[in-house]
Chain A
Amino acid sequence: DAGVTQSPTHLIKTRGQQVTLRCSPKSGHDTVSWYQQALGQGPQFIFQYYEEEERQRGNFPDRFSGHQFPNYSSELNVNALLLGDSALYLCASSSPDRAGYTFGSGTRLTVV
């Protein structure tokens, strides 16, 4: 049973560019959340998708947007990249009872 799959693993982008990160949730999970983890810090909640809609959003600007597809997979888009967007982006999926959250291996984004 595959866990949460994220792609790509690593990414290098230039300031001002746009990036799309992808996440496939664990089988049986219908909810996907995205987190940003800067170096040496705890993960920060970006937003959560359920039934193809954004259900809650953290303190992130509108440059961060997302989407959930009918198969529950999700994308995170970041526009007009800044140096400060460099971080590990983690996707977490959860089941309807929210008993557990499974994290993917993450995408390491470097903005130069």
Chain B
Amino acid sequence: ELKVEQNPLFLSMQEGKNYTIYCNYSTTSDRLYWYRQDPGKSLESLFVLLSNGAVKQEGRLMASLDTKARLSTLHITAAVHDLSATYFCAGLTGTASKLTFGTGTRLQVTL
């Protein structure tokens, strides 16, 4: 069964600095997703990574996937306060395409 681990669990970031969130998964995953969740809100889709070496960028966020290492990273460039939220990675497995989520990384950007 797929297990997904994220680290760190909590990240206090200074505005303007660069940081990386790591997502390790235990077995082969068909796809890797990144989501953002604001407090009390639902999940907003950020990226879908389909294959080894995939890299996607949107604004200050860049996600990459290394299937051989079973590792995905979410890199934040020049953090701003608006990026404060909880970020989840999730792997997709099985014929029913079940999403298995990591524990989440709570990001707090301070001045």
Q: List chain A positions with a Cβ less than 8 A from chain B.
A: 31, 33, 35, 41-45, 48, 50, 55-56, 58, 90, 92, 94, 98-106, 108
B96→A56 contact, CB < 8 A: yes
Given A41-B104, A42-B101, A42-B103; A103-B96 close (CB under 8 Å) = no
Which residue of B45, B90, B92, B97 has the most chain A CB atoms within 10 A of its CB atom?
B97
Known contacts A48-B97, A103-B45; 12 further A-B pairs (Cβ under 8 A): A35-B99, A43-B88, A45-B98, A48-B96, A55-B95, A55-B96, A90-B42, A90-B43, A94-B97, A100-B45, A103-B44, A108-B40
Q: Which of B20-66 contact A (CB under 8 A)?
A: 31, 33, 35, 40-45, 48
Interface of A is mostly: strand
Q: List chain B positions with a Cβ less than 8 A from chain A.
A: 31, 33, 35, 40-45, 48, 88, 90, 92, 94-104
A100→B98 contact, CB < 8 A: no
